[in-house]
A and B are shown apart, each in its own frame.
Chain A
Amino acid sequence: MATPTLPSNDLQTVRRDVASRKVRDQLFVVVGLLALFACLLSLLVLFGKLVMDGSDRFTWEFVSSFPSRRAVHAGILAAWVGSSLVMLVTACTAVPVGVMAAIYLEEYAPKNWFTGIIEINVTNLAGVPSIVYGLLALGLFVYKFDLGQSIVTAGLTLALLILPVVIVATREAVRSVPRAIREAAYGLGATRWEVTKDHVLPYSTGGILTGMILGLSRAIGETAPLITIGALAFIAFLPTPPITDVAPYVSFTWLTDPFTVMPIQMFNWVSRPDPAFQSNAAAAGAILLGMTLLMNAVAIYIRFRFRKSINW
């Protein structure tokens, strides 16, 4: 057996060696790009197909009409209003509850086996199938609390669904506030609550809002849990308007109104035999996808704005 020797250092050998290693480097660039385009292309093809199939339905009439038995007259008014109101309820409940829970876990809770179990379970909750949340909501909100098959039930159901997302995102954001900043505030005599409200929360707003929007853009596409609680697929009226012309000018009766949402409307149209409804479904799908992408864009913009003003 020959004695092992170090590679020679002469020009030829070094160049040959570098060249062969760079080939492998380039190889990864190709593989990586292929993987990237596989994702992007499938999204683009999907979006393009939806736009093409629904191209003749992108009219004001489509956005401002109720569903109809005749495909050309059917629209998504009830669906997008329903989706918006349900999202409003979801945001107004999931965000405060999620943020408070996350702040408690991060800033207040002692680190022991009990909080350890809670942490693991919060992460696991993010993986629970959404239909299970639907079943929970059917038993709890619809039957036990008697909230009916209403906007508030749907909003609370989706809030439960995205709560883990909000909690995890908030904890990440809160954790990114440097320890030195906390120590500076504590060093001046601040209490835990003062440190939280004056420093930790303001400096992590960007991350919290991003988490909120990512959670909402998941919730807006959910269908299964809402079908479980009994959302209607055919609604030819709008919920009671939240603003009225008599004092006190705000009304909350819309919370208990029946509703439909975009994905359910789509599902309803897709399952009809008449091909004209297929283009309705495609157009609604494109609009829903557009709404989701818009929300993600807002999240990215918010994060960018906050990163710019705060860099540690």
Chain B
Amino acid sequence: METTMSTPSDSAIAGGHDAPRIAINMDGQRDVAPRNAAKARAEGLSFYYGAHRALKDINLEIPERMVTALIGPSGCGKSTFLRCFNRMHDLTPNTRYDGAIHFYPDDFNLVAKDVDPIEVRMRIGMVFQKPNPFPKSIFENVAYGLRLRGVRNRALLEEQVEAALRGAALWEEAKDRLQASALTLSGGQQQRLCIARALATRPEILLFDEPTSALDPIATAKIEELIAQLRDQVTVLIVTHNMQQAARVSDFTAFMYLGELVEVGDTSRVFTNPSKKATEDYITGRYG
């Protein structure tokens, strides 16, 4: 499926998604909710840049260890919505959240004023649009999140870095040059390094903000394959402007337009039988 260029609909519908879904406790520490249970739920979420209301009353459930894709034309608010989950907007002055994103199983509101954004970011990782490795060694890039959490033991760091690099399908390429600068990697490798960096801290949700928009098709295919594998250990929320990508990698698709959530459902259903006119117009390429 990865080597031959199959049609998007094939891979989306048949791409191994019917395999039995077993809840595996990957680290033996965290209570893992059954797959498909709500991991997070946006409830009446609005977001403001100053007086501009960029998100309008969004209600959306993010299921545990599933891939949920956010699609929509440029400026529809999909990235803005994604960045609410790890409180990235807190870095920009004059922004305001309204409503809630409930986070399960702890059941607290991620965007509440009294919840520290650092606490949120410790549990929800993010991969950005352009690969943004630190200009440090490959090893230090992956180890950084653990160092922040106070891990000093060298053996433990090495073990975790290896696990994260394996998880991001970069170990074979990087194992002999862990001390080389991350900037010597190719663009696609850098993006997988960023995924490894996020994975090393064992996030409960991993946010992807158009992770392949700066990559060539081959690197893109590798990242997509990786995202499909990540479903087994982490809940994924991905923003993409590429509808074929959404169809290929996601279980659920949410279509946003002008800051509102228009439609959400099983990816195969949204792409084959959208219930809203706007969704149909978008996925058939009438605008966007």
Residues of B near A23 (CB, < 8 A) are: none
Partner of A183, one of B128, B133, B198: B128
Q: In the complex the two chains form, is A187's CB within 8 Å of B118's CB? A: no
Contacts of A188 in B (CB 8 A): 121, 125, 144-145, 148, 197-198, 201
The interface stretch among A25-33, A70-78, A118-126, A189-197 is A189-197
Q: Is B122 engaged at the interface, CB distance under 8 Å to the other chain? A: yes
Closest to A177 in B: B135
Which residues from A are CB-within-8-Å of B148?
188-190, 194
**In chain B, residues 67-103, which have Cβ atoms closer than 8 Å to a Cβ of chain A?**
86, 88, 91, 93
Taken together as a complex, chains A and B put the C-alpha atoms of A111 and B132 apart, in Å, by 26
A189 touches B132 (CB 8 A): no
Task: Report which of A111, A189, A199 forms a contact with B145, defined as CB distance below 8 A.
Answer: A189
Shortest distance between the CB of A308 and any CB in chain B (Å): 11
Q: Is the CB of A189 within 8 A of B122?
A: yes
A43 at the interface (CB under 8 A from B): no
| Residue ID in chain B nearest A312 by CB atoms | B135
User: How far, in whole Å, are A81 and B194 apart by their CA atoms in the complex?
Assistant: 51
A189 and B119 CA atoms in complex are apart in Å by 7
Q: For the complex, give the distance between the alpha carbons of A271 and B107 in Å.
A: 82
A184 proximal to B (CB < 8 A)? yes
Q: Which of A221-244 contact B (CB under 8 A)?
A: none
B53 lies within 8 A of chain A by Cβ:
no
Question: A110 an interface residue at 8 Å Cβ cutoff?
Answer: yes
Q: Interface readout for A298-309 with B: 1 if CB under 8 Å, 0 if not?
A: 000000000001
> Which of B93, B148, B194 has the largest number of chain A CB atoms within 10 A?
B148
A-side contacts of B122, CB under 8 Å: 189
- How far apart are the CA atoms of A7 and B264 in the complex, in Å? 58
**Closest A residue by C-beta to B145:** A188
B128 lies within 8 A of A180 (CB): yes
Roughly how many angstroms separate A188 CA and B196 CA in the complex, as a whole number?
12
- In chain B, positions 202-235 with a C-beta closer than 8 Å to chain A are none
Shortest CB-to-CB span from A166 to chain B, Å, is 24
Q: How far is the CB of A147 from chain B (nearest CB, A)?
A: 42
Q: In the bound complex, do residue B183 and residue A311 qualify as a contact, i.e. CB atoms below 8 Å apart?
A: yes
> Is A198 part of the contact surface with B, judged by Cβ < 8 Å?
yes
Please determine whether B194 and A184 come into contact, CB atoms closer than 8 angstroms. yes
Residue of A nearest to B121 (CB): A189
Total residue contacts A-B, CB cutoff 8 A: 61
CB of A186 within 8 Å of the partner chain: yes
The CA-CA distance from A82 to B86 in the complex, in Å, is 55
Q: Is A203 an interface residue (CB 8 A)?
A: yes
B171 at the interface (CB under 8 A from A): no
B168 to chain A, nearest CB (A): 15
Give Cα A194–Cα B133 distance, bound, in whole angstroms. Answer: 16
Quote the shortest CB–CB distance from A183 to chain B (angstroms). Answer: 6
Report if B48 contacts A (CB, 8 A).
Answer: no
Residue of B nearest to A191 (CB): B118
Distance between A307 CB and nearest chain B CB, rounded to angstroms: 11
Does A1 sit at the interface, judged by CB under 8 A?
Answer: no
B126 contacts across to A, CB distance below 8 A = 183, 187
Contact of A187 among B119, B130, B133, B198 (CB under 8 A): B198
Chain B residue contacts of A189, Cβ below 8 A: 118-119, 121-122, 145, 148-149, 201
Q: Tell me which residues from 153 to 207 in chain B have a Cβ below 8 Å from any Cβ of chain A.
A: 181, 183, 194, 197-198, 201
Q: How far is the CA of A311 from the CA of B181 in the complex (A)?
A: 11
Min CB distance A246 to B, Å, is 40
Residue of A with least CB distance to B91: A186
Judge whether A310 is part of the interface by a CB distance below 8 angstroms.
yes
Contact A184 B132 (CB under 8 A): yes
When the two chains form their complex, are residues A110 and B93 in contact, meaning their CB atoms are under 8 A apart?
A: yes
Interfacial chain A residues near B118, Cβ < 8 Å: 189-191
Residue of A with least CB distance to B125 = A187
- A185–B88 touching, CB < 8 Å: no
A191: B residues at CB distance < 8 A: 118
Query: Which A residue's beta carbon lies closest to that of B94?
Result: A111
- Give chain A residues whose Cβ lies under 8 Å from the Cβ of B134: 181, 184-185, 199
Residues of chain A in range 260-296 having any CB-CB distance to chain B below 8 Å: none
| Distance in Å: Cβ of A208 to nearest Cβ of chain B | 16
Which of B86, B130, B144 lies in contact with A198, CB distance below 8 A? Answer: B144
The contact sample of 15 A-B pairs, CB cut-off 8 A, is A110-B93, A111-B93, A181-B134, A181-B135, A182-B91, A183-B128, A183-B132, A185-B144, A186-B121, A187-B125, A188-B144, A188-B145, A189-B119, A189-B148, A309-B135
A-B contact sample (14 more), CB < 8 A, given A180-B128, A180-B132, A188-B198: A181-B132, A181-B135, A183-B88, A183-B126, A183-B128, A183-B132, A184-B133, A186-B121, A187-B86, A187-B88, A187-B128, A189-B119, A189-B121, A194-B148
